[in-house]
């Protein structure tokens, strides 16, 4: 048995108010903008599975417009409770788990990552009848100041630990907004902390850089496609062999060429071949929405606790000013 999976990772810029200014178009805002993004993804992406980042408060509008994707995860909530991560799939999705980063940085510095619970969204997806893979969508800590770099390294280490600690061996696909590239490996150690430790293959490196994930190792670095922060990685296993067939960037625009977010989506085609017995999870649980009353309680408490914690981190304003010019932190 063999086939292909067309997959995409897309940061939809769903931050309240701010997200409306992260594209060049100004006609649609809020729910209307998110609806347009959903309609374009259905009409133009031609993908089996889409992983979304920054899908916060406006998730219902996006989800309702994604009519071509029968299987969807339910949002954890808006800022500051939610992680902004979701899956839209034409294949059945099971066993959804959300894992917050154990280390992040910034209320007023870096990229204010502590104002949202970014992390890892994991799931099991049935790509064919009885054929299961493990699927991860991530959004790593942003910014390039020293404390953000430290947090992002730990994000990659944590993801590697999650992958390596699985009880059942299955093929793996990882996608998301990594907020780094291999050209920044000297600072972020993406290869050492994640790719090498988890045994992953980076689709961009395979297709456009001769399989190389090293920058500054004494050899020529001449990729045929410039890197972006959004990546797709994979790992064969559990009777399923994965291979990168194509890798491209897609920018969704209106008729005037105006964009709806500040991100270009990353699209990859992975072929798969079933080469042995596939390990089925012990249990298969479909995604389900959280109780609204309980979610409201948690959102309220999160707002209060985040506000209090932020007050004790006003000193970050000094740190932010100190590292306003990040030129010294780039390779």
CA distances from 95 to 127, 136, 146, 247 (A): 14, 12, 36, 28
How far does the chain reach from its first CA to its final CA, in angstroms? 45
Strand partners, 125: 93, 133
Question: For 235-272, what is the HEC assignment?
Answer: ECECCEEEEEEEEEEECCECCCCCECCCCCEEEEEEEE
Give the span between the Cα atoms of 58 and 28, in whole angstroms.
13
DSSP structure class, residue 184: G
Task: Find out whether 103 and 155 touch, Cβ atoms under 8 Å.
Answer: yes
CA angle at residue 60 from 16 to 302, to 5 degrees?
55
Give the span between the Cα atoms of 258 and 252, in whole angstroms.
8
The secondary element (H helix, E strand) that includes residue 50 is strand 49-53
What does CATH list as the number for 2-277+285-329? 3.60.10.10
pTM of the model: 0.95
Strand partners, 120: 99, 138
The secondary element (H helix, E strand) that includes residue 97 is strand 93-100
Cα–chain center distance at 110 = 19
Structure tokens at 50: 């889409």
In a structure prediction context, what are the per-residue pLDDT tens digits for the chain, which is 331 residues long? Answer: 899 999 999 999 999 999 999 999 999 999 999 999 999 999 999 999 999 999 999 999 999 999 999 999 999 989 999 999 999 999 999 999 999 999 999 999 888 999 999 999 999 999 999 999 999 999 999 998 999 999 999 999 999 999 999 999 999 999 999 999 998 888 889 999 999 999 999 999 999 999 999 887 667 788 999 999 999 999 999 999 999 999 999 999 999 999 999 999 999 999 999 998 888 999 999 999 888 888 888 889 998 999 999 999 998 888 887 776 443 433 3
């Amino acid at each position: 048995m063999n086939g292909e999976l067309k997959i995409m990772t897309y940061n939809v810029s769903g931050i309240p108010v701010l997200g409306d200014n992260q594209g060049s178009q100004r006609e649609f805002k809020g729910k209307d903008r998110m609806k347009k993004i959903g309609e374009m993804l259905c009409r133009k992406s031609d993908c089996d599975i889409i992983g979304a980042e920054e899908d916060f408060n406006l998730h219902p509008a996006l989800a309702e417009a994604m009519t071509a994707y029968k299987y969807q995860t339910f949002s954890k909530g808006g800022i500051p409770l939610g992680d902004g991560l979701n899956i839209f799939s034409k294949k059945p999705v099971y066993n959804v788990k959300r894992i917050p980063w154990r280390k992040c940085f910034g209320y007023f510095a870096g990229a204010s990552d502590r104002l949202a619970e970014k992390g890892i969204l994991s799931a099991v997806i049935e790509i064919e009848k009885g054929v299961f893979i493990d699927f991860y969508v991530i959004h790593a800590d942003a910014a390039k100041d020293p404390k953000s770099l430290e947090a992002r390294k730990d994000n990659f280490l944590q993801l590697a630990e999650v992958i390596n600690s699985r009880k059942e061996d299955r093929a793996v696909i990882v996608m998301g907004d990594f907020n780094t590239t291999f050209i920044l490996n000297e600072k972020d150690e993406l290869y050492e902390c994640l790719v090498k430790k988890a045994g992953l293959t980076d689709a961009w490196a395979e297709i456009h850089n001769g399989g190389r994930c090293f920058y500054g190792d004494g050899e020529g670095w001449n990729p045929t496609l410039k890197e972006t922060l959004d990546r797709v990685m994979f790992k064969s296993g559990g009777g399923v062999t994965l291979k990168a067939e194509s890798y491209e960037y897609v920018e969704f625009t209106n008729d005037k060429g105006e964009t709806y977010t500040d991100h270009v989506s990353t699209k990859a085609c992975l072929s798969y071949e079933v080469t042995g017995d596939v390990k089925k999870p012990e249990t298969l649980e479909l995604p389900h929405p959280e109780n609204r009353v309980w979610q409201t309680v948690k959102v309220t408490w999160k707002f209060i606790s985040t506000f209090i914690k932020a007050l004790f981190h006003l000193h970050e304003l000094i740190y932010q000013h100190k590292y306003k010019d990040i030129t010294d932190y780039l390779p």
